[in-house]
Amino acid sequence: MLLRKRNYRFAFFVAFRYLFSKKKQNAINVISFIATGGVCLGTLALVCVLSVFNGFESLVEDMFASFDPDLKIEAVKGKTFSIDNADFERIREMDDVVCFSKVLEDNALIAYKNRQTPVVVKGVDKNYLKAVCVDSIMYDGQFLVHDRISHYAVIGVGLACQLNVGLQFADALKIFVPKRTSKINVLAPEKSFNQQNVLISGIYSVQENELDNKYLFVDIELARSLFERDSTEVSAIELKVEPKKTVAVQARIKQLLGEDFSVKNKYEQQADFFRIMQIEKWITFLILSLILLVATFNIIGSLSMLIIDKKDDIATLHKMGASQQLIRTIFLCEGWLISITGAVVGLILGVLLCLSQQYFGWLKMEGGYVVDVYPVIVKFGDILLIFSTVVALGFCAACYPVRYLRKKILTQ
């Protein structure tokens, strides 16, 4: 074991000297520098691209965090379910549950003057303002769904633009929902719909088109009247829980309610969106890794020329008692040193570039996006993955010229 350890130290020492010492042919130095530079640039690109993806993911997470609750309970089958049982009372009384909000939503048609569009009417109770950070998404007006006089609605900014409706408009917004408990009247089709007029009290904006063009918030009692549901029926329960208790509370509720209900956290509520972002991130990582693989081919050329340049040294070492394994290890270490040097320099430059973008915002985004500069977040896990990938590619690139060394030189 001690002899093997000394052999590795010797191999590393010789490889280090070969890397930084002057060669007989100056072209070898140039090729080694190009190989290290290629690995450095590839590593830098990986750090920057993955950090930008992390920044956009965090940005989207913050956008949805203002709209989605910490936990959302829905029935696996059917649109609605009854909360008139002891299980939901236990959930309401859990110590880590800060807010218990009832929600009833379904499809409807809204119309304003000669314009109309389908929406999802979402009826919320008085606890909804505590369950979700609504104030942060209000674009204009306030989140008010009823008072002592009348019912109101809060509409998405996309829907407001489609209908050309605003807060100061005197005409009411009309909501149409097909009746569940009666047949369609062919002679008077308008009587086949439950209808309600509401005034707009606020306009929200999540800055995500699907959400801004989808929901119309009303009072849950109004929603029950429109959808002909009783006071115990809801389509979802939205919960706000104590910080850092989401996972534990989610597990307890799943165990309590069983397989008939789904309990989703913020990520799971927007699972498709985050899954697409992750797919895009790792496909980009794969493409850049392939480019990095091409860059590591320079290591093959550098090691091949170095082996030819050091042919006499190899023969001397072999005659002095150095084993074939030791000589192969020297040049494997040489390839590793080239890749590790490029990886370390690339990681340092990439992290510094990302941190400077994070704090100073050198790169701007034009075109009216949510943010003015490219968001970046450097994650340690990404750094470790990139370093491991570069080292693995460097090892693979070094194996080929070392095989040549064993077949052509050590056998002579």
Residue 12 has pLDDT above 70, yes or no: no
Exposure of 285 in the CB half-sphere (CA atoms within 13 A): 19
Choice among 77-81, 119-123, 282-286, 328-332 with the minimum mean pLDDT: 328-332
Helix 324-360 to helix 26-65 angle, to the nearest 10 degrees? Answer: 40
Residue closest to 399 by CA, chosen among 296, 316, 314: 296
Confidence at 36, pLDDT banded by 50, 70, 90: confident
pLDDT of residue 3: 42
Residue with more model confidence, 21 or 356? 356
Please give the average per-residue pLDDT across 53-65, as a whole number.
Answer: 83
Residue type, 238: E
Can you read off the two tokens belonging to residue 384?
């470790």
Amino acid 238: pLDDT: 93
88 with 233, same domain: the answer is: yes
Percent of the chain with pLDDT over 90: 28
| Same domain (yes/no): 95, 122 | yes
pLDDT digits (tens, 9 = 90+) for 184-203: 665 566 677 889 999 898 99
pLDDT digits (tens, 9 = 90+) for 297-355: 777 777 766 666 666 666 666 666 666 666 666 667 777 777 888 889 999 999 999 99
The CA-CA-CA angle for residues 376, 69, 127, to 5°, reads 140
Last residue within a domain, chosen from 244, 266, 288:
266
Average pLDDT, the chain: 81
Confidence of residue 47 (pLDDT cuts 50, 70, 90): very high
Mean pLDDT in residue range 218-223: 93
| pLDDT band at residue 2 under the 50/70/90 scheme | very low
Q: Give the span between the Cα atoms of 6 and 354, in whole angstroms.
A: 40
- Same domain? For 288 and 261 the reply is no
pLDDT at residue 352, as a whole number = 94
Which candidate, 348, 334, 336, 325, places its Cα nearest to that of 390? 336
Q: CB neighbours of 280 closer than 8 A, spacing ≥ 6? A: 53
Q: How many other C-beta atoms are found inside a 10 Å radius of the C-beta of residue 105? A: 23
Same domain, 253 and 357: no
- Please provide residue 132's backbone torsions phi and psi, each rounded to the nearest 5 degrees: -130, 145
On the question of pLDDT at 405 being above 60, the answer is no
Looking at the chain, the whole-number percentage of residues with pLDDT higher than 70 is: 78
* Domain final position from 266, 295, 319: 266
**pLDDT for 68 beyond 80:** yes
- pLDDT at position 222: 93
Residues 157 and 163: their CA atoms lie apart, in Å, by 10
pLDDT grade, residue 100 (50/70/90)?
Answer: very high
Would you say residue 277 has pLDDT above 90?
A: no
First-to-last C-alpha distance (Å) of the chain: 30
329, 394: one domain: yes
Domain count, the chain: 2
Tell me, yes or no, if the pTM score tops 0.85.
no
**79/143 same-domain check:** yes
| 144-153, 167-176, 317-326: the lowest-pLDDT one | 317-326
On whether both 48 and 94 belong to a single domain, the answer is: no
Instruction: Report which residue type is found at 280.
Output: E
Residues 234 and 100 in one domain: yes
User: Do 75 and 60 share a domain, yes or no?
Assistant: no
Q: Do 43 and 350 touch, CB atoms closer than 8 A?
A: yes
Q: What's the pLDDT score for residue 313?
A: 64
Asked whether 115 and 91 are in contact (CB, 8 A), the reply is: no
* Higher pLDDT among residues 329 and 132, named by residue: 132
H helix or E strand, kind and range, residue 326:
helix 324-360
Query: Is the model more confident about 24 or about 352?
Result: 352
Domain range enclosing 85: 70-266
Tens of pLDDT along 71-80? 999 999 888 9
Q: Which pLDDT belongs to residue 336?
A: 75
The DSSP bridge partners found for residue 358 are none
Q: What does the CA dihedral 381, 382, 388, 393 come to, rounded to 10 degrees?
A: 160
Does one domain contain both 331 and 196? no
Joined tokens for residue 308: 């030819």
Residues 106 and 246 occupy one common structural domain: yes
Residue 348, pLDDT score: 94
Domain boundary among 243, 266, 289: 266
The pLDDT-based confidence of 368 (bands split at 50, 70, 90) is: low
When mean pLDDT is compared across 93-97, 267-271, 341-345, 399-403, the lowest value belongs to 399-403
* Separation in Å, CA 90 to CA 64, 126, 131, 240, 262: 28, 20, 18, 15, 17
Q: Are residues 114 and 251 in the same domain?
A: yes
Is the CA virtual torsion 270, 273, 276, 278 positive or negative?
negative
Residue 274 binned pLDDT confidence (cut-offs 50, 70, 90) = confident
